[in-house]
Amino acid sequence: MQITSSGCVPRAGSRERVRAPGAGAGVIRPRQAGPARALLGLSTREVLQLWRVEADLSLSREIWPLLKSSGPTSPFKMDIDIECQELSGSRWTELVSSMKDCKAIRLDYCKLSRSHCEDLCSVLSTNQSLKELKLDHNELKDEGVEVLCKGLLTPSCNLELLWLENCNLTGACCESLRSVLSAKPSLTDLHLSRNKLDTSGGKVLCQGLLDANCKAQSLVMRSCELRGDNAEMLTSILSKATLKKLDISNNKLGDAAIKQLCQGLMDPNSNLQLLHLENCDITADSCGDLATVLSTKPLLLDLAVGKNNIGDAGFTLLCKGLVYPNCNIQKLCLDTCGMTADSCGDLATVLSTNPSLLDLALDNNNIGDVGLILLCKGLIHPKCNIQKLWLWECHFTAVACKDLANVIGTKESLRRISLTLNELGDAGMEMLCQGLKDPKCKLQFLSLKECGLTSACCESLRSVLSTKQSLKHLEIGSNRLKDEGAKLICEGLLDTNCNLETIWLGESELTAACCDSLAAVIRTKQCLRYLGLDLNRLENEGVRKLCEAVRSPNCKLKYLMLYDIYWSSEVEAELRALEESKPGLKIIF
Amino acid sequence: MTQARTLVMLWVLAGSALLLVVSANQQQYERFLLQHVHCNPRGRDDAYCNRQMRYMLREDRRRDPNPGKKICKEINTFIHETKDAIRAVCQGGGSEYVTRSGQVMHRSFSSFQVTTCRFHGGKPLENCRYRASRDSRRIVIACDEDRNPVHFEESHI
């Protein structure tokens, strides 16, 4: 039985969650509207709940926490997944008693502190099946972690994953963590981001990681105030054969440190698959060393060097490594790297020679039309297997759209593309639509926010929507589509060929006038799960029309985004009642 | 006996109904304050937006009894003024106009320092990234019966 307190929609995840047969989704409402509470200060919803409790006492048991429902006799393992709730007093005690058999516990933002750690410590020393413990964003501090480590060190503890992001830790607790790392080969996944571990803490931690007993696979230490002097230690842990994932972004490491790191990566024992070095003060100076790594390490699949000012010079060097046959990089993040059109020739060469690259992010680089046109030459090459392409704010316009349309209409592997924040205009969009309509195009996700579009391009868009069966997710808000544009888009959506699951039309200058069309879509399209209409002046009239449509049994919407739309308190009440009546639906106000 | 009890019940119901409306308004005002008012910003840049938006989104979820999936709100504006100065717009500090469906909006006479945060990628919640744009402009808000702001018009005229 799963206890979740972060929403009624079960989270998709790779972790196995065993559910008790016939049990509901197990939603707990965090602030229970029990009869003992005063009416003042409760939200409308809570007051309504209170009324229902008073009206029919038989319902009251369902509203109280479901913690007791899976007792020690239950044959199923439990998971605990709670965020943003204060856990204290009897609530905490009850929760702890239910932790005996858990496999995974997540308690983010729960205002936990050292005293909670004492209890968690005993859980760790008695629960042999506990594999994951996530305590991000709690003021545990060094003392709290030291207590936890006592539990972690007990012989029966087999914890595999420990996340302590933003727990106000310093280097002082690293000694305890070190002893855990050198004693527990089961601990493979450690997240310590956003704790001021500092150079000294980093060094102590690395000692633990280097221990032969330590079989760490994944280490994430973003924003830990690590410095260049940590390089030596970091370098040595890279030669750890078990280490697959290292993320040390947002630490001021500098070129000298990166060069040392690369030496560590070159170690024949190193099996690293993922390396994230975003915002690490890297410049072109260390790109040669990174290129050497890229050309020699076939296991490296995911490299992120975004937010480092490597510039064109740096990128040219990186490319020398990327073109090597040994280079199997699948995911490459180069956002905000100071690249211009000058880098694009080399990048095109990479794309036309390296078939392994699947995911490329170039956001926020001033590549412009010239750059994108060059890039397209590489993208269109038969050897290129690109699946995901992110080009947010790359400063290109309609001028590059013909070539881009050609890529979109030819590259069957391309599934997800974002062109947000580029001034494409209607002319550019028309050209892109030509590519989108091509039967070879199998695009699933398309983002076109803030692209300077108006209703003028919506006829072409309608035509795309009514033919492109593969398209599942469309973000086209923050454009002046207006009611006219929205109506055309809705016509496209209504086509039986259209399988859209998600559409975001926020901030598009829509009014109540297009709500009949929107209502028709809501009523008819059973595939539609997420509809975003925030920041439009739909007003009471429009919102009411939507409500009526949502009530229809055909409507299988999960999320209806209505942020920042002004309505009366009657309409607000109507919306809340609507949400209550449709258990699968969440209306976001 | 039962008649007296019925009367008491009716009073309780009436009182609760009143409190219902009052508490609903209060909730909207408090939400407005959370989402749109931040008096003392430290540097109104992208990093500010990241911090403030994440805080706002987190706190918003915390107050919601049934928050659902985590989402990075696409666009949000913070007004850098005291809540009293903003309330003043509801109380004569702005020109009123009425929308087509009868909603009353208040457009402030004076300009306010604002920062608009636009979503720029990243996974919700702690990795929502934003771009900041600073501005000084007249704000358009809607107010409740108690003349408290309850709605911010992002798309100002």
Per-residue pLDDT of B14-52, as tens digits, reads: 666 666 655 777 888 999 999 999 988 888 999 999 999
Contact B152, A564 (CB under 8 A): yes
According to DSSP, the residues that pair with A191 across neighbouring strands are A163, A220
Domains of chain B with CATH codes: 2-156 (3.10.130.10)
Residue B34: CB atoms within 10 A of its CB come to 15
In this complex, do B155 and A535 lie within 8 Å of one another by their Cβ atoms? yes
Closest listed residue to residue A529, CA positions, set A481, A571, A582: A582
Beta partners for A474? A446, A503
What local confidence, expressed as pLDDT, does residue A63 receive?
29
Q: Is A42 on the interface with B (CB under 8 A)?
A: yes
| Alpha carbon of A297: minimum distance to chain B alpha carbons (Å) | 28
- Tokens describing residue A545: 């029309």
Residue of chain B whose alpha carbon sits nearest to that of A137: B126
Q: What is the pLDDT of residue A574?
A: 94
Count CA atoms closer than 13 A to B24's CA, side-chain side. 20
**What was the pLDDT predicted at A52?**
37
pLDDT at A77: 53
Give the tokens for residue A557: 């919407």
- For residue B101, is pLDDT > 80? no
pLDDT in tens, B102-113: 788 999 999 999
In chain B, which residues have their Cβ closer than 8 Å to the Cβ of A476?
none
Residue with tokens 């945060």: B117
Q: How far apart are CA B100 and CA B98, in angstroms?
A: 7
Shortest Cα distance from A445 to chain B (angstroms)? 14
Q: Testing the interface with B: which of A44, A481, A533 to mutate, by most B Cβ within 10 A?
A: A44
Q: Is B36 a known active-site residue? A: yes
Q: Which residues of A touch B142 (CB under 8 A)?
A: 566
Q: What count of residues does chain A have?
A: 589
Mapped onto helix, strand or coil, the DSSP state of residue A111 is coil
Which helix (H) or strand (E) element contains residue A143?
Answer: helix A141-153
Establish whether B156 is a catalytic residue. Answer: no
ipTM of the prediction: 0.80
Mutate to test the interface with B, among A541, A566, A567 (most CBs of B within 10 A): A566
Q: Is the pLDDT of residue B11 over 80?
A: no
Under the banding of pLDDT at 50, 70 and 90, the label for residue B129 is very high
Q: How confident is the model at residue B122 (pLDDT cuts 50, 70, 90)?
A: confident
Cβ proximity of A412 and A440 under 8 Å: yes
| Cα gap B141→A385, rounded to integer Å | 50
Which residues does chain A have with pLDDT short of 50? 1-76
Cβ of B23 and A47 within 8 Å?
A: yes
Element (H, E) at A344: helix A344-353
Kindly report the pTM of this predicted structure.
0.83
Q: Do A537 and B99 touch (CB under 8 A)?
A: yes
When pLDDT is averaged across residues B59-88 and rounded to a whole number, the result is 90
